[in-house]
Amino acid sequence: MSWIPNIHFEISERKILLRILDLVAITLTLVLVYSLFQFDYLKIRYSRWGWVFVLWLYYTVFAAIFELYDLQKAASFQTTLKNILLTVSTTVLFFILTPFVTPVLPENRLQILLFFASMVVGLLVWRFAYISLISAPRFNKRILVVGNSFDINLIAENLHKADPNYRVIGFVNTDEMQAKDFDRRLKAIEVANLIKSIKRYSVSEIVVASAAQGVGVELYNKLLVLLERGFPIREYTQVYEEITHRVPVQHVERDFYKYFPFSRSNKNRFYLFISRLFNVIFALCVMFVSLFIIPLVFIGNLMGNRGPLFYTQERVGLNGKPFHILKLRTMIINAEAEGAQWASRADRRITPFGKILRNLRIDEIPQCVNILKGEMSLIGPRPERPVFVQELSEKIPFYQIRHTVKPGLTGWAQVRGRYAESIDDTLEKLQYDLFYIKHRNLFLDLNILLKTISTVLYYRGQ
């Protein structure tokens, strides 16, 4: 008997759906408006599809910047409304300001307003349908975990936090001892009732989070039967990495090579050449623009920081080699008179002007010098101080692996993780750094650049 799980949209499927149907909604709305009104600014015709492609390109880029493809935010209509207004406003602005690849401005300027309103209405109708239907609980993925009952709460919490549509509804305990403090909303399934329970609770997938020796013969045979019927069974670290975009180092054993098949891009000469070329061009452009910014920063530093404008600090770079990073000073003078300290989001040592520099990432501009010297890259794990590297290496497994690539001005951990104020926060950021090292490529780099722009625009600098 074949097994057909309930319908569920995977994370990648929902993101593709959002991207494609956003463009479909925009196009169909413009066609409808052209049919009902005297809308001549952007006629959807075969000979003018080039203009439509430019519109699609602008929208796709700004939709990524303003987080319209973030599934957590896409599930909230209020957040979606705000992001749609920002995205469409920027898209329309760029579209009308580039007449060499877009239509010439119409004589009737009200058509621009109609153009803007049409895109907003079309997107809102489609996104409301998405929130009401596809993000509804009926499309939740119902998961059964095979693993230690003492870990089930953490596993369920991690999966649901990463994807609200990912629901752990029960578990099969592979440990001889019974836990008394697991979430009572989770159903404890006996091995003998596994197949019946899958049908009874409409389970979509089984996730195995137990070591091979923990799976007994009876359970092993049950899993084989389900696998033969085509039922999805996956390993926990694989699922965790797929939906969180992090490598779960706390669940990785010493044989880490099977978990970290590092990206071929790390040794790909073409990728490294393109990356280095882009780094140099970026650093030179930023340094040129900074010529107009630094005078304002200098004045702000005189009034708000009152001390040296720049400071250097030793950091650990590629292959564990130390180098000196260059930054704009954002803290009070002698901020570490009592020794090295962790910085925090509400750190009292940060001056009011320094906080502005941090949130806008302006304090990082001098690191373009480090990029030109080849000590840093635009994208990579943030370089840490030797004293903290030694401390963290003793407490967090695989921490030193982040030194296998050049440190970066921005990175996957910076755009996805929270401010590191503790060992737990640092562990989370390490998981993101290892994911980047494992999957490093040009598309991921571009994604990080777009998310970095979002971080600056939303004033979330770290």
* Ramachandran angles phi, psi of 170, nearest 5°: -175, 180
Beta strands in 405-451 (DSSP E): 408-410
The top-scoring range by mean pLDDT among 67-71, 132-136, 251-255, 371-375 is: 371-375
Q: What stretch of H or E contains 188? A: strand 187-188
The pLDDT of residue 445: 93
Beta strands in 342-450 (DSSP E): 377-379, 408-410
144-188 pLDDT tens trace = 988 876 677 778 887 877 777 788 888 888 876 555 566 677 888
208-236 pLDDT tens trace = 887 655 678 888 888 898 888 888 888 88
Note whether 325 and 333 are within 8 A (CB).
no
342-360 pLDDT tens trace = 776 677 788 888 888 888 8
Label residue 380 left, alpha or beta by phi (over 0 means left) and psi (-120 to 50 means alpha): left
Identify which has the larger pLDDT, 78 or 266.
78
Average pLDDT over residues 46-57: 82
Share of the chain above pLDDT 70, in %: 86
The pLDDT of residue 411: 93
Q: 261 falls in which pLDDT band (50, 70, 90)?
A: low
Give the closest residue to 220 by CA, choosing from 201, 202, 238, 206.
206
Residues with Cβ within 8 Å of 423's Cβ and at least 6 positions away in sequence, in order, are 392, 395, 396
* Ramachandran angles phi, psi of 130, nearest 5°: -60, -45
Q: Give, to the nearest 10 degrees, the angle between helix 269-304 and helix 352-359.
A: 160
3-state SS class at 324? strand
Give the closest residue to 354 by CA, choosing from 375, 329, 372, 371.
329
The pLDDT of residue 129: 93
Label residue 361 left, alpha or beta by phi (over 0 means left) and psi (-120 to 50 means alpha): left
Parallel, antiparallel, or unpaired: how do β-strands 205-208 and 141-147 relate?
parallel
Q: 370 falls in which pLDDT band (50, 70, 90)?
A: very high
* pTM, full prediction: 0.81
* Ramachandran angles phi, psi of 208, nearest 5°: -95, 115
Q: Would you say domain 140-244 falls under CATH 3.40.50.11060?
A: yes
pLDDT higher than 80, residue 331: yes
pLDDT higher than 50, residue 5: no
Give me the residues paired with residue 237 across strands. none
Tokens (6 digits) for 37: 């009104």
User: Which range among 88-102, 105-119, 157-171, 175-189 shows the weakest confidence by mean pLDDT?
Assistant: 175-189
Note whether 213 and 230 are within 8 A (CB).
no
Label residue 202 left, alpha or beta by phi (over 0 means left) and psi (-120 to 50 means alpha): left
> What does the DSSP assignment read for 37-67?
S---SS---GGGHHHHHHHHHHHHHHHHHTT
DSSP-derived letter for residue 133 is I
Domain boundaries, the chain: 11-134, 140-244, 264-457
Average pLDDT over residues 386-405: 89
CA distances from 322 to 90, 371, 383, 386 (A): 42, 15, 10, 8
| Unique residue bearing structure tokens 């694989």 | 238
Residues with Cβ within 8 Å of 413's Cβ and at least 6 positions away in sequence, in order, are 381, 382, 428, 429, 430, 432, 433, 436
Average pLDDT over residues 309-325: 93
Note whether 66 and 87 are within 8 A (CB).
yes
